[in-house]
Amino acid sequence: QLQLVQSGAEAKKPGASVRVSCKTSGFNFKNYAFHWVRLAPGQRLEWMGWINAGNGKTSYSQKFQDRISITRDTSANTAYMELRSLRFEDTALYYCAKWGQEEEALDYWGQGTLVTVSS
Amino acid sequence: DIVMTQSPLSLPVIPGEPASISCRSSQSLLHSNGYKYLDWYLQKPGKAPQLLIYLGSNRASGVPDRFSGSGSGTDFTLKISRVEAEDVGVYYCMQALRPPFTFGGGTKVEI
């Protein structure tokens, strides 16, 4: 059974960093790319970046370019998203999603991780 | 960046009746390979988004055939032939032609 299971909710102060994990199972992790998308209160879904789990190549939205790192651990079948220099407006639900090669779309999603930035 | 505009913002529906959501892109989403890189997602209350339609008109695995997608290079439509109670949630279109991938503002469908 294909699954993407994300790490639990995080509470951070402005200026801190957060790392969210996305542990996968049920398929060959290295054959796919994984994207990160967030949903902030009152906002639309926002694409942040992606990683090719096979070769580790990444691409980031220019909006987050200076503050984001997406990595993977192939031995653990897990993708990670780190966001640095957190701001109040980074409070959001963060999702990882698998890129479907046939569909060329985000075909499976993690359950989401709530990151709250508060002083 | 490609701007995605959805309408309406909110859509009251009646079970058994049809419903339609529009999505417009600021640039053509038609790739040179002939595919239109427009996807539709549904986010049910308290859940992660789920893929409904990919490449403009293809239903994802397990999606009921009451959902259909169509469109040209810049204007797209998601149709529900007969709405069911389980279809409530927020519908998003997303362009996957060129990073950064961008989403429409969402359409909240409620009974």
Of the candidates A44, A104, A110, the beta carbon closest to that of B104 is on A44
Residue A61 has pLDDT above 90, yes or no: yes
Contact call for B55 and A106, based on CB within 8 A: no
Neighbours of B57 (CB within 10 A): 17
**Chain A residue numbers touching B49 (CB-CB < 8 A):** 37, 45, 95, 97, 106, 109
Output the pLDDT for position A103. 87
The SS3 assignment for B62 reads coil
pLDDT, position B86: 94
Paired sense of beta strands B4-7 and A68-73, if any: unpaired
Contact present, B67 and B84 (Cβ < 8 Å): no
Check residue B55 and report its DSSP letter. Answer: T
As a whole number, mean pLDDT of residues A68-74 equals: 98
A26-35 pLDDT per residue, tens: 999 999 999 9
pLDDT digits over B46-99, tens only? 999 999 999 999 999 999 999 999 998 999 999 999 999 999 999 999 999 999
User: Is any Cβ of chain B less than 8 angstroms from the Cβ of A70?
Assistant: no
Reduce the DSSP state of residue A28 to 3 states and report it: coil
**pLDDT over 90, % of chain B:** 97
Give the span between the Cα atoms of A109 and A119, in whole angstroms: 30
Q: Looking at the complex, does the CB of residue B100 fall below 8 Å from at least one CB of chain A? A: yes
Residue A102: is its pLDDT beyond 90? Answer: no
Mean pLDDT of chain A: 96
Mean pLDDT rounded to a whole number for chain B: 96
